[in-house]
Structure 1
Amino acid sequence: MFPYLKEAGKATFQDRYVKKANELLVPWDGKQAGNIGVIGVPLSKSSISHSGAAFAPQAIRQALSFYSTYSIEAGIDLADITVTDYGDVVMHPTDIVESQRRIAETVEQVVALYPESKWIALGGDHSITFPVVSGWQKQKGKIGMIQFDAHHDLRNLEDGGPTNGTPFRRLIEAGVIDGSQLVQIGLRDFANSRAYTEYGKQRGVTMYTVEEVYRLGIQTIIEKSMQMLSDVDAVYVSVDMDVLDQAFAPGCPAIGPGGMDSRTLLQAILLLARYDKVQAMDIVEIDPTIDFRQMTSRLAAWFILQFLKEKKEGDF
């Protein structure tokens, strides 16, 4: 009726020849789904440091609006991809363990409905990886994991319970994965303890430090990692944004110098997405309340587009 009135929040500049990446997200109608599914996991009460990562799923979705669907490098347009957005898992207001149980149950149920879909989980802190992977793995069989992280996240549970420092220890000790099926990339100096490095080695975890990333090259590391995981049925990629140098990810609760640069991590995700076995990814540890000009959320949104770009080139 009124040509210059639009729905609140929608009154932005529109170019008839440009489709924004956030338009790829289509709410699930309870019936049909696209080849890619997104689910928000807004849990950060389990963080051992102050964190507003519970606000990240919506911040990442919104950050997609800063990008178009066209890749000038690949010469392809993602405009015809449907990314089904299943919304956010409802967290318990006080009970962390109950929240994690809800996450695992929800992921298991949704993946069971659409087992052929690829999945992207938007955290939340890194504690979400345990329940997400636990639910996802039940439909996948033997899985491998590639973890981009400054930290091992192999902490004991006695000193703090199921925090964001424990997900990979929990996955190993619960038998969801074997330590030999876990590759950690980007471990940073002065960010870990000897005890947890030794624990990982004893369990057969493969570890690459930031220095090794630049000395060996990310392509070599990805190729070696996927070759090592050649006998698994599916691979899950976990991206903790604090693997990046603080200059590239100021919105991480655990920022620090000496991390990876954003271009290297973008390349790594592109390389991994080329493998059919790579079927799921999470992005965790973004606190929008401390971010600067949405730098960290914008980068996370680009990770999603990198994943979609390569999957489209391979026609999923």
Structure 2
Amino acid sequence: MEKHWSLIGLPDDTGVKNVNGRTGAAGGPAAFRTFFEKLKGNPLVKGKLHDLGDVAIQQSIEETHREIAAFITDARESSFFTIVVGGGHDLVFPHLQAYQNATDSGGKLGCINIDVHLDLRPDNPVITSGSPFYMALNAGLLEGENLVEFGIQEYANAEELFIFAEENKVSLVKFDDLRGNVVSGFKKSLEFLSERTDRIVISLDLDSLQAAFAPGVSAPAPEGFMPSEVVEMVRLAAENPKVVSLGIYELNPEFDIDDRTARLAAVIAYQFASVKLANHIPL
């Protein structure tokens, strides 16, 4: 039987609260669906969609992470690919757990994090939205070189996080080094991971976009990627047979203006799904 693709909502922003960020990303999945449902064009996008709803949020952030990992694990076993919408960026940790569980014996997981921030903060004393890749490296979900931090802005990250990234051999691609070459730089990063890994998860933190285009995020950036650049990046990712999932994080409708960010997130997901289905690459 031909597989469908799955949409999963993660309506939790506890990790954002724990770092004293702007709360509201718990409403991200609902805002996303409002506009995704209105998109038309490729009948396969809706025809092959199984919207699995939202993961039930638990009493503690640790319990929520376990619930999400189990939920996505079940979904990916019957799905051609998944799109996950949050929610705080700490939720990419259980997202990665689900796909590390899916790798073949000896297989390797890769991740491209499109983001302003490294998100390599320690998870002690509490897990925050800035902790997911620190946790993923410490848990052995990713080897350092198989984590590509793409679009990182120096002013937005503490020096000790860059030191941690260097010590752990994280693949770092700074925003300043991408000026005028964003899409070609992403293509190189994707090719790099494709040669080294068996499955790739793309994590898009919406604060990587310019705040003028994506004001509805937990931590808006005055400078960042253009919408057309991000769309081109996810379309490239969708063409790659090793890319199995797209995560869209930090959609915060409480701070959105004219629903710009929710509309953009919906279009980004639609473009990824449309290209993935058009190529119909078997996994």
Corresponding residue for residue 131 of structure 2: 166
Corresponding residue for residue 214 of structure 1: 179
Instruction: Measure the CA separation in 1 of the matches of 2:2 and 2:10.
Output: 19
Instruction: Measure the CA separation in 2 of the matches of 1:146 and 1:36.
Output: 21
Corresponding residue for residue 100 of structure 2: 137
Paired positions, count: 274
Instruction: Measure the CA separation in 2 of the matches of 1:167 and 1:122.
Output: 15
Corresponding residue for residue 61 of structure 2: 96
Instruction: Measure the CA separation in 2 of the matches of 1:88 and 1:33.
Output: 24
CA contact (8 A) 1:56 1:124 kept: yes
CA contact (8 A) 2:12 2:57 kept: yes
Are 2:93 and 1:124 aligned? Answer: no
Corresponding residue for residue 154 of structure 1: 120
Classify the secondary structure of the residue corresponding to 1:122: strand
Find the partner of 1:228 among 187, 192, 196. 192
Instruction: Measure the CA separation in 1 of the matches of 2:72 and 2:47.
Output: 22
Quick one: structure 1 residues 108 and 250, their matched pair in 2 at CA, closer, same or farther if it must change by over 3 Å?
Answer: same
Q: TM-score, normalised by structure 1?
A: 0.82
Residue 68 of structure 1: how far off its partner (Å): 1.9
Residue type at the aligned position of 1:287 = N
Quick one: structure 1 residues 122 and 182, their matched pair in 2 at CA, closer, same or farther if it must change by over 3 Å?
Answer: same
> Among the aligned pairs, what percent are the same residue?
29
Quick one: structure 1 residues 33 and 155, their matched pair in 2 at CA, closer, same or farther if it must change by over 3 Å?
Answer: farther
Find the partner of 2:252 among 281, 287, 304. 287
Corresponding residue for residue 246 of structure 1: 211
Superposed CA RMSD in Å reads 1.7
CA contact (8 A) 1:147 1:185 kept: yes
Instruction: Measure the CA separation in 2 of the matches of 1:226 and 1:100.
Output: 27
Residue 155 of structure 1: how far off its partner (Å): 0.4
CA contact (8 A) 2:149 2:171 kept: yes
Corresponding residue for residue 6 of structure 1: none
Residue 198 of structure 1: how far off its partner (Å): 1.4
Instruction: Measure the CA separation in 2 of the matches of 1:44 and 1:249.
Output: 18
CA contact (8 A) 2:15 2:61 kept: yes
Equivalent runs, 1:1-316 vs 2, <5 Å = 34-47=3-16, 48=19, 49-70=21-42, 78=44, 81-92=47-58, 94-112=59-77, 114=78, 117-140=80-103, 141-158=107-124, 160-215=125-180, 217-229=181-193, 230-316=195-281
**Relative contact order higher in (CA < 8 Å, ≥ 6 apart):** 2
- List gaps (5 residues or longer) in structure 2: none
Quick one: structure 1 residues 33 and 254, their matched pair in 2 at CA, closer, same or farther if it must change by over 3 Å?
Answer: farther
Residue 79 of structure 1: how far off its partner (Å): 5.9
Instruction: Measure the CA separation in 1 of the matches of 2:4 and 2:279.
Output: 12
Instruction: Measure the CA separation in 1 of the matches of 2:3 and 2:112.
Output: 25
Instruction: Measure the CA separation in 2 of the matches of 1:83 and 1:34.
Output: 10
Instruction: Measure the CA separation in 2 of the matches of 1:202 and 1:81.
Output: 46
Residue type at the aligned position of 1:235 = I
Larger radius of gyration: 1
Quick one: structure 1 residues 269 and 295, their matched pair in 2 at CA, closer, same or farther if it must change by over 3 Å?
Answer: same
Q: TM-score, normalised by structure 2?
A: 0.91
Residue type at the aligned position of 1:144 = G
Instruction: Measure the CA separation in 2 of the matches of 1:219 and 1:88.
Output: 32
Write out per-residue CA displacement over residues 259-315 of structure 1, whole angstroms, 9 at most, x where no aligned residue.
Answer: 111111111111111111111010000111111111101111011111012112212
